[in-house]
């Protein structure tokens, strides 16, 4: 089994990716196993650009000895012209908490009807092989923004995001259902299909 190093210092995200990449040719390892993530200034103008910046920085640090994968993801709200988008994690400021971001978004949508609260979680994965070639995989999950936070599981905007076909938020549905529906799960499935064809 080959190692695939995930460009993150976030252990929660590393565990999520390990679960998503089960039954795969690669074993997912966190960048923490190799001295941690190098500092990256995420100044790209798209999810794809920021995913590449993270993957490239780690690949360079590892001297191209391993395949590397990075993700960049966020929430896009149609009524807000795609915001918060690439700024999802820092929507309410550089040191904003999840609840700070949620409250700012709910404030921005105050008084907006359900029909105009369409949104999606979007994820772009950047995979860099040992030769330095980059490959991209994308996934999205459509839904609406609820009127108030509901549920205790999940993180980020999960308590206010209701995926299509459900009246419950991601934070209420639990990890098993989220893992089937999520933008990240869809992107990973596309990546796994790529591995099956390429390797």
The first and second tokens of residue 92, run together, are 């309410």
Q: What angle do CA 139, 30, 7 make, to 5 degrees?
A: 50
- In the residue annotation, 72 being an active-site residue is answered as yes
Query: Using an 8 Å Cβ cutoff, are 179 and 17 in contact?
Result: no
24 C-beta neighbours (distance < 10 Å), count: 18
Query: Using an 8 Å Cβ cutoff, are 122 and 48 in contact?
Result: no
Q: Which of 72, 78, 100, 158 is an active site residue? A: 72
> CB under 8 Å to 13, separation ≥6 — which residues?
6, 71
CA distance 194 to 6: 17
* Catalytic residue ranges: 72
């Amino acid at each position: 089994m080959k190692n695939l190093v995930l460009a993150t210092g976030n252990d929660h995200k590393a565990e999520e990716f390990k679960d998503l990449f089960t039954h795969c040719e690669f074993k997912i390892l966190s960048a923490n196993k190799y001295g941690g993530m190098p500092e990256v200034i995420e100044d790209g103008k798209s999810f794809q650009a920021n995913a590449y910046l993270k993957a490239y920085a780690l690949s360079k640090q590892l001297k191209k000895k391993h395949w590397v994968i990075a993700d960049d993801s966020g929430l896009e709200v149609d009524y807000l012209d795609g915001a918060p988008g690439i700024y999802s994690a820092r929507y309410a400021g550089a040191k904003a908490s999840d609840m700070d971001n949620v409250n700012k978004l709910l404030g921005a949508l105050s008084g907006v009807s359900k029909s105009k609260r369409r949104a999606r979680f979007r994820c772009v994965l950047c995979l860099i092989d040992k030769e330095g070639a980059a490959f991209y995989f994308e996934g999205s999950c459509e839904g609406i923004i609820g009127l108030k936070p509901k549920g205790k599981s999940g993180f980020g905007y999960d308590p206010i995001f209701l995926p299509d076909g459900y009246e419950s938020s991601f934070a209420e549905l639990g990890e098993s259902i989220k893992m089937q529906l999520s933008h990240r799960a869809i992107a990973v499935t596309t990546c796994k299909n790529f591995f099956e064809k390429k390797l």
